């Protein structure tokens, strides 16, 4: 059975991947969706042109991986596409954010992604693709977004490193590094405190379309938009201390504007 497996499929970019993958990979037998919201996954399943298998549960807990592994074995599954899109962020100074929320970011954005990847690799074969949702936040340290940016730096590094290891098996890994995307992400994360982020907001349809095209073309990294490509180059050329100073200054400027509005 040829399948695509998508985490974080109940909303945002994960949901958009579920919508677009069947259009590009026409030989799939099923799409497997993993997320916490059973109702949202069932609603999404009605939209899709392929049979859907739902794995509702918390990706920071062991039981969902046990369920997925049993089904992979039972179905003799061949994972043609794995998309790790589950994750969240919390905006603000690290000392001001609830500690469990920040630890949860590490658990979901890093540990869960790693665990799912390692679980799935034995069920992948030549030509399989892995899409790891990183972020343009991975390119440099970000004050006011420190833990989230650090988790995405991990995802980016892990994707590139694993990509090198898997190349001999013909399994292609693509790290997707968008800037801010117009999804429900910021409803949970909060105000960015950074005016530049709002200026370069992208749409989920376009970001996912480029990510899938880049994965099909065997590219190791997918960065949507000229602005984010420029940010990647700048992060390579400028010292971290300067990037941090610029971002902190913009954040303080934006916060003052927010205070005046209130």
CA distance 81 to 228: 25
CA distance 90 to 220: 27
Q: Which one of 25, 65, 123, 148 is the catalytic residue?
A: 148
**H helix intervals, 167-225:** 185-189, 195-199, 204-216
Contact 234, 129 (CB under 8 A): no
C-alpha atoms less than 13 angstroms from C-alpha of 210 in its C-beta half-sphere: 17
Q: Is residue 63 flagged as an active site residue?
A: no
Count of beta carbons in the 10 Å neighbourhood of residue 64: 21
Token reading at 143? 């004050």
CA distance 112 to 13: 17
Total count of residues recorded for the chain: 262
- What is the H or E stretch that residue 84 is in? strand 78-84
The neighbouring-strand residues paired with 5 are 32, 82
CA distance 260 to 110: 37
Which of these, 36, 42, 127, lies nearest to 82 by C-alpha position?
A: 127
CA distance 98 to 94: 8
Catalytic residues: 148
């Amino acid at each position: 059975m040829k399948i695509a497996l998508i985490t974080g499929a109940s909303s945002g970019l994960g949901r958009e991947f579920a919508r677009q993958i069947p259009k590009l990979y026409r030989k799939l037998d099923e799409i497997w969706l993993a997320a916490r919201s059973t109702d949202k996954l069932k609603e999404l399943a009605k939209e899709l042109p392929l049979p859907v298998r739902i794995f509702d549960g918390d990706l920071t807990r062991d039981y969902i991986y046990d369920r997925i592994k049993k089904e992979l074995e039972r179905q003799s599954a061949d994972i043609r596409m794995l998309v790790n899109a589950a994750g969240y962020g919390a905006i603000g100074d690290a000392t001001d954010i609830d500690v469990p929320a920040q630890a949860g970011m590490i658990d979901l954005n890093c540990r869960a992604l790693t665990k799912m990847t390692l679980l799935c690799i034995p069920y992948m074969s030549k030509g399989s693709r892995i899409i790891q949702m990183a972020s343009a936040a991975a390119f440099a340290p970000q004050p006011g977004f420190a833990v989230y940016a650090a988790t995405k730096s991990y995802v980016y590094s892990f994707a590139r490193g694993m990509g090198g290891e898997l190349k001999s098996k013909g399994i292609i890994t693509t790290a997707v590094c968008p800037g801010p995307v117009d999804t429900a992400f910021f409803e949970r994360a909060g105000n960015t405190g950074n005016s530049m982020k709002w200026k370069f907001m992208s749409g989920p349809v376009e970001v996912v379309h480029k990510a899938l095209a880049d994965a099909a073309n065997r590219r190791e990294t997918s960065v949507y938009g000229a602005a984010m490509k420029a940010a990647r180059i700048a992060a390579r050329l400028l010292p971290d201390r300067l990037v941090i100073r610029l971002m902190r200054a913009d954040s303080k400027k934006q916060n003052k504007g927010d205070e005046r509005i209130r």
